[in-house]
Amino acid sequence: MAAAFPRSSSLVVALQLGIFLLFLSSIAVGDDVSRAAPGNESAACGNDFRLVKIKMWVNGVEKEPIGGLTADFGSLLPAHAEEGHRFPAAFADPLNGCSLSSSNLSDSIALVVRGDCIFTTKAKVAEAGGAAGLIVINDEEGLVQMGCGNDTRLNITIPVITISKSGGDELHKSMSSGVKVELLLYSPDRPILDYSVIFLWLMAVGTIVSASLWSEITGSNQSDEQYDELSPQESAGAADKDDEEKEILHINAKSAIVFVITASTFLLLLYFFMSSWFIWLLIVLFCIGGIEGMHNCIVSLVLSKFRGSEQKKMNLPLLGEVSIFSLAVLIFCVVFAVAWAANRKASYSWIGQDILGICMMITVLQLAQLPNIKVATVLLCCAFVYDIFWVFLSPFIFHDSVMIAVAEGDKSGGESIPMLLRVPRIADPYYGYNMIGFGDILFPGLLVSFAFRFDKANKKGVLNGYFLWLSIGYGVGLLFTYLGLYLMNGYGQPALLYLVPCTLGTCVVLGWIRGELKHLWTYDTDDTRESSEPIARGEEA
């Protein structure tokens, strides 16, 4: 097949590097901040941290709401906006709110900045000044949990919340011209399950199943019939060309360990040096991979139905002879990726990101393959430890969950890492996205794809094979991931903690029960192919 850019060794190496980058996002993130648990009725210390919505009116015109988080002290907020009250907003003077304000805060919501004194002091000063509520503006992105400290007998009767730096900038911008700004604070309850999780589950499982069955979907295994119609010399030449275009990266145990070491190194670089330009580098790499993946998927699907589409060709500088159809698809893919990058912050941009990501993962799973369960065990066990360490254990070393900090992009200047499938939350009043990292699809996907090839090579049926059961295992593992997400109040989960036992564990247990574990452990498609060649030649003779 003539393509606008044929696959080569350099492309395979680029995809191998791409896997390192995709692996960094191997985490399921359900919330932009931790899920707030239901509140209690106490106004003293010990309140639950609850998410807050701040409705804003500028000269009577309602604007987009701002998100916040309550302190574990202060009065509780109503769950419905209709039960709340509008108050004018006023910046304290001094702005740190550590001493009585010279400005009138009576029956107003006081705005102060974080720093110079503890949160409880700011709350006491604001209440003494007659404020109806207190908003503490964080000095960085994200929401800080404001505790009582050692003052456990504190009794603050006004609501106290915190907002991010960008939220504070938005308020300051609205109030800088001297217009009247009014705020209403309320804390709506969140649904136990958002329907977007179901859609995200279908996308993840569908990507793995589609990638595994891609050769059957596109009918690429029928290409031998075309070569049989040629002369022996033409047939051999065409086969060699096809092999070059379909160069496969076979992962071994050593490269599996290198994956994890490289990913850990790059993750630390992102954690310490993350900035908007660093994220832009990842966006460019994502677009390049997405263009290649989308081009491969569209061309292979169309040519599987219309073989004549590749006949018309033209010569271009640098590219040489290319198919006109393939070139047209390439131009479309480039325009699609550029349009997504230009509108990546729009509310609908998740659609383009998911399309590019799914196409890229399908292509990667076609070009990267596991030879046997031995290599799969090394790779997935290393990934299992990697995920758990950087999510749950890294806070003991870095005082922060490195994986979650990178996935949420707290230091990215408002940019977000694109190596994620994301779906907007439908029923959640706080909006945001449910997300899953590409690594949580790619790495189990390598094992599921191996199971399909193994079943096909050994002529196994659907029920007595491994592909169906591993696909079900992946789906169940993903359900456990989101169950853990909700049980832990939205704290980002290392998805491979659940996916590896449900996929690799299923494969090992089934192989042991069927007495095929040794065959799975040492199986190698190259060895199988070589051993079958003498038999084929003997039959010809």
% the chain with pLDDT above 70: 79
**pLDDT value at position 408?**
66
Three-state helix/strand/coil letters over 38-107: CCCCCCECCCCCCEEEEEEEECCEEEEEEEEEECCCCCCCCCCHHHCCCEEEEECCCCCCCCCCCCCCCC
Query: Would you state the pLDDT for residue 512?
Result: 94
Q: What is the DSSP letter of 506?
A: H
pLDDT in tens, 510-529: 999 999 999 999 887 544 44
Q: Give the pLDDT score at 211.
A: 94
SS3 163: strand
CA distances (Å), origin 85, targets 39, 81, 108, 237, 508: 19, 8, 11, 78, 60
Mean of per-residue pLDDT scores for the chain: 79
In single-letter form, the type of residue at position 312 comes to K
Share of the chain above pLDDT 90, in %: 25
The pLDDT, as a whole number, for residue 39 is 37
536 or 463, which is more confident?
463
Check residues 149 and 63 and name the one with the higher pLDDT. 63
Q: Which residue in 31, 72, 387, 455 is the catalytic one? A: 387
CA distance linking residue 107 with residue 85, whole number of Å: 11
Report the pLDDT value the prediction gives residue 234, as an integer from 0 to 100: 43
User: Binning pLDDT at 50, 70 and 90, where does residue 220 land?
Assistant: low
Distances in Å between the Cα of 61 and the Cα atoms of 57, 182, 444 are: 5, 10, 50
- 182-214 pLDDT, tens per residue? 899 998 987 777 788 899 999 999 999 999 999
Active-site option among 32, 72, 194, 440: 440
Distance separating alpha carbons of residues 389 and 198, to the nearest angstrom? 28
Mean pLDDT of 454-466: 91
How far is residue 525's CA from residue 372's CA, in Å, rounded to a whole number? Answer: 8
On the question of pLDDT at 479 being above 80, the answer is yes
Mean pLDDT value of segment 171-180: 81
User: What is the arithmetic mean of pLDDT over 113-126?
Assistant: 86
Strand partners, 437: 420
CA distance 196 to 258: 35
Specify whether 48 is catalytic: no
**Long-range interactions of 233-236: CB distance < 8 A, separation 24+:** none
Is the Cα dihedral 259, 490, 472, 295 positive or negative? negative
133 burial class (0-12, 13-18, 19+ CB within 10 angstroms)?
buried
Please give the C-alpha separations between residue 517 and each of 178, 250, 374, 473, 530, in angstroms, as whole numbers.
74, 21, 10, 18, 22
Is 387 among the residues known to form the active site?
yes
Is 437 strand, coil or helix? strand
